[in-house]
């Protein structure tokens, strides 16, 4: 018989880890909903063109996409990220601006699986479309920061850069191209290939052989226009005012091509340097227009759930919590009483579980222990005969026998 396992880079998430994932998203929801962000749930699959807009020169788009032609001859792809989908949704529905949206869910990239890098991975994120105010950049960065802080993470640092206005970026890219071409014989062949497509992305190289050439490459700050410099300075002042520490890293260009002005990354101090970005984002424009909408500014971030939870493990915070029920019903009379009692208790709003297969009293008590219940309700032949139930506190205290009809008020009294 064939035995199937998950494909490389794909995982089953079981309890209690699945509960931790849920709490992660719930915590994120709490942080961003209370700042006026509302959820958008884009589809997992879109016309491949939506994602191609993100950057023709990025690995995410050129090498890692899960794409196929569907039965209607449409060339579609599983989303590798959600910013492009959110922008596509904006163009399609034209919500009032500024549109503050948040999302959570899986993305797919055909990458080489390793610690902190999977082929299906979850992200939470926010995007704001339709406002250019630098204070919004600060709000966005601060929300991601607060969220990571709320998980208990302490060894996260914030790296910040500005890529300037599109024209600044163009002049910078031209200068970079000229510089790298002059030194191309000292670059790795991978970086030479990147150079031909997008000189900016050579700065992303983490290969040690490229480090010396990259270190002396032109720096974006010397290409900032007056407006870009002012925007960046307002962002830095805003972060300082909020007491959020950051380091300016003028080599931070981020993987995707559509960034302008502010870019940032939350870096996990405990993770290996190749996979230490918990999340990141920045300001972009052009994307909405590329997708057929009006020129619209955008700013946002995505935080990787998987990698952030690895950082939580390393820092021993936001640990998985064993789930429990409040009540466990033990029935040694065949199981029909347990059926009725659990149903009644659940309908009254309590959590309750029971054993099946008419197990022995001892075996049902063990199951009650495992369930983490505060209270066991026991029905044996005597209780069944007299219309009563034994209420036994599982963590010490005396058990009492109460009439079957008094179960709900009794639970209300004894459950904390
Ligand atoms: P990006 O969309 O590439 O800017 O990635 C944002 C965040 O998503 C990263 O910092 C990671 O935490 C996470 N991420 C990206 N790719 C993967 C992957 N293949 N596996 C796990 N997490 C990922």
Per residue in 128-170, pLDDT (tens digit) is: 999 999 999 999 999 999 999 999 999 999 999 999 998 998 8
pLDDT above 70 coverage of the chain, percent: 98
Any domain includes 52: yes
Residue where a domain terminates, one of 315, 345, 368 = 315
Q: Is the domain of 237 the same as that of 108?
A: yes
119 alpha carbon – ligand 1 mean position (Å): 10
3-state secondary structure of 335: coil
Domain that holds residue 340: 327-415
4/12 Cα distance (integer angstroms): 13
> Which CATH number do you get for residue 352?
3.40.50.800
Is pLDDT of 57 > 70? no
Question: Is the omega angle on the peptide bond into residue 31 within 30 degrees of 0, that is, cis?
Answer: no
Residue where a domain terminates, one of 294, 315, 336 = 315
Residue where a domain terminates, one of 259, 286, 315 = 315
382 alpha carbon – ligand 1 mean position (Å): 60
Q: Is the domain of 149 the same as that of 103?
A: yes
Q: Give me the number of domains the chain comprises.
A: 2
Asked if 103 and 79 count as a contact pair (C-beta separation under 8 A), the reply is: no
pTM of the model: 0.93
305 alpha carbon – ligand 1 mean position (Å): 8
Q: Is the domain of 310 the same as that of 351?
A: no
Does residue 302 have its Cβ closer than 6 Å to ligand 1?
yes
pLDDT tens profile 342-399: 999 999 999 999 999 999 999 999 999 999 999 999 999 999 999 999 999 999 999 9
pLDDT tens profile 274-305: 789 999 999 998 889 999 999 999 999 999 99
Residue owning tokens 């058990």: 399
Q: Is the domain of 306 the same as that of 331?
A: no
Q: Is the domain of 37 the same as that of 121?
A: yes
Listed in sequence order, the DSSP H helices in 163-204 are 166-182, 189-197
Mutate to test the pocket of ligand 1, among 307, 311, 314 (most ligand atoms within 8 A of CB): 307
Q: Is the domain of 148 the same as that of 43?
A: yes
Any domain includes 219: no
Any domain includes 11: no
Nearest CA to 148 among 311, 383, 34, 375? 311
Q: Given pLDDT bands bounded at 50, 70 and 90, which one contains residue 253?
A: confident
CA 68 to mean position of chain CA atoms: 26
Residue owning tokens 């029920």: 325
Mean pLDDT of the chain: 94
Q: Given pLDDT bands bounded at 50, 70 and 90, which one contains residue 257?
A: low
Does residue 11 have its Cβ closer than 6 Å to ligand 1?
no
């Amino acid at each position: 018989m064939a035995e199937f396992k998950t494909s490389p880079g794909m995982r089953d998430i079981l309890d209690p880890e699945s509960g931790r994932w849920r709490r992660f998203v719930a915590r994120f929801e709490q942080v961003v909903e209370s700042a006026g962000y509302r959820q958008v749930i884009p589809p997992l699959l879109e016309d491949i063109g939506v994602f191609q807009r993100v950057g023709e020169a990025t690995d995410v788009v050129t090498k890692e996409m899960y794409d196929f032609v569907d039965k209607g001859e449409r060339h579609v792809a599983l989303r590798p990220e959600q910013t492009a989908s959110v922008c596509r949704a904006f163009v399609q529905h034209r919500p009032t601006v500024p549109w503050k949206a948040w999302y959570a869910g899986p993305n797919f990239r055909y990458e080489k699986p390793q610690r902190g890098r999977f082929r299906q991975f979850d992200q939470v994120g926010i995007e704001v479309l339709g406002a250019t105010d630098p204070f919004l950049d600060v709000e966005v960065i601060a929300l991601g920061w607060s969220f990571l802080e709320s998980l208990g993470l302490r060894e996260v640092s914030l790296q910040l850069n500005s890529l300037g206005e599109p024209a600044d970026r163009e002049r910078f890219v031209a200068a970079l191209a000229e510089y790298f071409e002059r030194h191309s014989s000292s670059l790795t062949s991978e970086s030479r290939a990147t150079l031909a497509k997008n000189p900016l992305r050579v700065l992303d190289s983490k290969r040690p052989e490229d480090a010396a050439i990259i270190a002396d490459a032109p720096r974006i700050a010397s290409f900032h226009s007056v407006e870009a410099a002012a925007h960046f300075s307002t962002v830095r002042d805003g972060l300082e005012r909020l007491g959020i520490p950051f380091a300016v890293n003028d080599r931070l260009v981020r993987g995707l091509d559509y960034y302008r002005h502010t870019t940032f990354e939350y870096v996990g101090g405990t993770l290996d340097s190749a996979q230490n970005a918990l999340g990141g984002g920045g300001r972009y424009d052009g994307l909405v227009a590329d997708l057929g909408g009006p020129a619209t500014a955008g700013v946002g971030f995505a935080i990787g759930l998987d990698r952030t939870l690895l950082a939580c493990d390393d820092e021993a915070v936001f640990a998985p919590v064993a789930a429990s029920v409040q009540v466990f019903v033990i029935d040694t009379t065949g199981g029909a009483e347990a059926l009725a009692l659990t149903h009644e208790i659940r309908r009254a709003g309590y959590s309750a579980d029971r054993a099946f297969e008419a197990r022995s009293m001892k075996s049902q008590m063990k199951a009650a222990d495992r369930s983490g219940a505060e209270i066991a309700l026991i029905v044996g032949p005597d209780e069944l005969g007299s219309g009563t139930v034994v209420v036994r506190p599982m963590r010490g205290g005396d058990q009492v026998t109460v009439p079957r009809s008094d179960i709900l008020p009794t639970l209300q009294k004894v459950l904390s």
